[in-house]
Amino acid sequence: MTGKERIQTTLEHREPDRIPYDLSGTTVTAITRNAYRRAMEFRGLSTEYNPEMVDPIQQIITPSEENLLKLKSDTRRIGATRILQYEKNRIIEDDVITVYDFYGCKWTYNPERDIYFNLVSSPLTGCDDILYHLDRLPRPDWESYTVDLEDCLNRQVRMVGDFCGVADRNTAGFTENSLRIRGYENWFMDTVLDPGGVDALLEIILEDKIKYWDAVIDWAIRTDNTGKIQVVSECDDLGAQDSTILAPDTLRATVIPRMKRLFAHIRQRLPHVKIFLHCCGSIRPIIPDLIDAGVDILNPVQFTAKDMELEGLKKDFGKDLTFWGGGVDTQSTLNRGTPAQVRDEVKRIIDLMAPGGGFVFAPVHNVQEDVPPANFWAMWDALNEYC
């Protein structure tokens, strides 16, 4: 089977020739630059990666095509980089790199002391009332943004070939963007004190997400590349370790209806695609709502969060969802376990999740900075031995 056929088969809840594997098909199933370098050096492989870093803020890279082939990744990413034209748009002063994201949030990074970029200022953090200050929110010039986006897409689509093409989002989700735009404490207070302002901000984010996906889809239609897009990837972290980030009823009244509108718009224009949602944390109470909103694929399957045990997820939602991730825990096993513990966990999870299809192997979220190279290869070897 090709990568495209393999993933299509598992999305149809049938077992392919082997379990599909995703490395760098999205910015939440990827690997950080230093973890990648160390892992490749460990086995004498090239450390080269695509020079167009997909997400400098997370330090996420796309491995070279040569290494993606060696690592047997069944996916290829199509989508905007986190900071379009990063090399041109970054500011370097006194060894500190500064970038501004899609909504003008300021991020800084010092290579000598930081692992990732840090959020240091938010455009609406000092406003008492969201509604009266929304005109201060920086938003992209869509005409010039689309030019840069299409340049990026044209380069990426050449790599899709017979692999699963994942059209990936350009920016964070509804709540994530809101938190960054307002500042974390402010936004959580807003949900109680300024619900009208919260709704207005969410509507702006929805409008911009629809504009982004229309730009991607218009490009795909014009260049005859709609068939290269098999999966559409969006995100929003609605869970913490022990609960949803807001009461489930609040999410059902605010965020999830906008997800439903977004996914319906995408599916109206690309009826053949499956909708992938990255949603960390303890989200079991709202999984039925996400399915109703149009989600076909759940990632990262954070099984160490409360009530997210894999057995129950597979039993209760395995007919409706493909689980894309959950292959090994990145908060404990992959980063702090022994190679033997990594292998054992990978095999245990394959036994739970692979039968009947509906499973794409990836760790719980990205391979982070603290993952030892021996553990990365223990994961990969166990997958290939047992897949």
Q: Above 80 in pLDDT, residue 346?
A: yes
Q: What is the mean pLDDT of the chain?
A: 97
pLDDT of residue 263: 98
Question: What per-residue confidence (pLDDT) applies to 224?
Answer: 98
Residue type, 361: F
Return the pLDDT at 54: 87
Question: Could you tell me the residue ranges of all domains in the chain?
Answer: 3-84+123-386
257-284 pLDDT, tens digit per residue, is 999 999 999 999 999 999 999 999 999 9
pTM exceeds 0.95 for this model: yes
- pLDDT, one tens digit per residue, over 152-193 is 999 999 999 999 999 999 999 999 999 999 999 999 999 999
Model confidence band, residue 128 (pLDDT cutoffs 50, 70, 90):
confident
pLDDT value of residue 50: 85
For the domain made up of 3-84+123-386, give the CATH fold: TIM Barrel (3.20.20)
pLDDT of 51 above 80: no
Write the pLDDT tens digit of every residue in 202-234: 999 999 999 999 999 999 999 999 999 999 999
Residues facing 108 on adjacent strands: 98, 118
